[in-house]
Structure 1
Amino acid sequence: MADSYVVTGGGRGIGRAVVERLLADGAHVVAIELDETALDWTRRHPAAARVHAVTGDAGDEAVAARAADLAEKAGRLAGWVNNAAVFRDASLHSASPREVMDLIAVNVGAPLTGCATAVRRFLAAGTGGAIVNVTSHQARQAVPGCTPYVTAKAAIEGLTRALAVEYGPRGIRVNAVAPGSVRTERYDEFLARQGPEGAAHIEAEMARLHPLGRVARAEEVAATIVHLLSDEASFINGATIPVDGGRSVLAHDPEAYEPPS
């Protein structure tokens, strides 16, 4: 019986690229997505028999449990990818501490729930397993105006290290991947709203920002995530791997801006 995996935010972008890569490797995959329409493609996929869609909030324990049940029914639950995130900015001078805290909680809650569900299932099965959390270069290289997102991603990297230490002795590896900018549907939609001239300017800035001269393809981030899930990464634990084309090394961020006063 093939191994199975759960991928949150699996309908689009990096999440879908991870699902596609795992399916190509012959695995069963459960994709969790808040937006049901983002999972329409799973019904038409050539490997539709091995991809299972779950609609709901990845931070909801019942949703995570349903996904885990489907994965275990399909095969040995071998890995869990916490990719789902909410992109909303806020600054302390214009938003209340409660608003900022709520935004932080949304982005920490989903991976925390995913990690808890995966750890419990791995321990119950006695098989071990791998968890990969998707963070961001912003966890270490903050962008003004993005306090909730920066704080949440930094917390997830701390969670990754804590779980790696606590559960490594029981055969559970926990790692994180920190992308820079990635060409996803969301990125392309953003460019389209800028018009040709604005899009060209943004693309030029992104080329300056990433030493490799471009943003990542979702498939490139997915390749690292799938590697960390695999036995080939059997001695990698508690690590955060930058997949940002050198963006965090350059440490110059023209995307940064001063939030409005």
Structure 2
Amino acid sequence: MSQQNTKKIALVTGGGSGIGRSICLRLAKRDIHIMVVDLNLDAANLVKDEILRDSGSADAYAVDVANHQQVHELFNTITKHYPIDILVNNAGIAHIGNIENTTEADLDRLYNINVKGVYNCIHAAIESMKSRKSGVIINLASVASSVGIAHRFAYSMTKGAVLTMTYSVAKDYINDGIRCNCIAPGRVHTPFVDNFLAQSYPDNQAEMFEKLSKSQPIGRMGKPEEIAGLVEYLCSDDAAFITGSNFPIDGGFVTLNN
């Protein structure tokens, strides 16, 4: 992208698949230049190519969000040339288990990606945003950050941290022109769900898919495009009065599932 280009810049972590891919494609349609960031460079490049084929603008980068040095090196490289106007912290991993079957290694792995990864990216972006008195940060939390869900001990812990980090950043930088919000999806139909069902329920995938779908009061899983639509709104000037908020997008899971 030319340095003379005046497009806004959005950096999306975990942009190579699932919800992250949909966010990248959706924001690209708003004439925003997308930095597709993923641990898997091949996946990031596929999304970048998809954006370019649709006359959008994008670059792709590989980074481990859990690696503080890697993240800072990437952000420093980018901000030498372009401001990061929008940061979407979407990268994350799941884990199933209660405290008894959550190992220390499991806990560390979830923390390093889901919590430290968000910290690393905000830490790397905040100085540039603060200096320009402008910036939007969107964190992907979960319904698990607000309500108890069985066998999600480590995952819930990390998403609760994402929620409270959102509140803290919004409070600390409200006078610096930086808005920080988070989105709390319910169950969303992504390749992760399909892979989970194939591995865990190879003989009754359809039955389990239906059961998981019905756990949302609305009767189905969310679509990645629906999450992307909410991100698009929160990144836009139409949401200029919104900061420090958590947005459930869950088919009624939090408020109606009782």
Corresponding position of 1:91: 98
Corresponding position of 2:10: 5
Equivalent of 2:130, from 112, 123, 132? 123
Q: 1:44 to 1:94 in 2, by over 3 A?
A: closer
Q: 1:90 to 1:103 in 2, by over 3 A?
A: farther
Deviations 1:154-196, CA, capped at 9 Å, x for gaps: 011011001111101110000000000111111223344434x
Matched residue SS, 1:47: helix
Corresponding position of 2:139: 133
Q: 1:75 to 1:26 in 2, by over 3 A?
A: farther
Structure 2: unaligned runs, 5 residues or longer: 1-5
Q: 1:113 to 1:209 in 2, by over 3 A?
A: same
Q: How far apart, in 1, do the equivalents of 2:74 and 2:60 lie?
A: 8
Deviations 1:112-147, CA, capped at 9 Å, x for gaps: 1111122111013x2411000001111112223221
1:96 CA displacement: 5.0
Equivalences for residues 139-178 of structure 1 within 5 A: 139-178=145-184
Q: 1:66 to 1:230 in 2, by over 3 A?
A: farther
Q: 1:50 to 1:148 in 2, by over 3 A?
A: same
Equivalent of 1:60, from 64, 67, 76? 67
State, as a whole percentage, how many aligned pairs show the same letter. 27
Q: How far apart, in 2, do the equivalents of 1:19 and 1:227 lie?
A: 13
Equivalent of 1:44, from 46, 49, 71? 49
Matched residue SS, 1:131: strand
Q: How far apart, in 1, do the equivalents of 2:193 and 2:99 lie?
A: 26
Q: 1:43 to 1:225 in 2, by over 3 A?
A: closer
1:211 CA displacement: 2.1
Structure 1: unaligned runs, 5 residues or longer: 253-261
Deviations 1:75-114, CA, capped at 9 Å, x for gaps: 4421100010122334333445575355334310011111
Corresponding position of 1:29: 34
Pairs aligned (count): 250
1:35 CA displacement: 1.9
1:239 matched to 2:249: no
Scaled by the length of structure 2, what TM-score is found? 0.87
Q: How far apart, in 2, do the equivalents of 1:189 and 1:100 lie?
A: 22
1:17 matched to 2:22: yes
Superposition CA RMSD, Å: 2.2
Corresponding position of 1:259: none
Letter in 2 for 1:26: D
Scaled by the length of structure 1, what TM-score is found? 0.86
Q: 1:89 to 1:203 in 2, by over 3 A?
A: closer
Contact 1:82 1:132 in 2 (8 A): yes
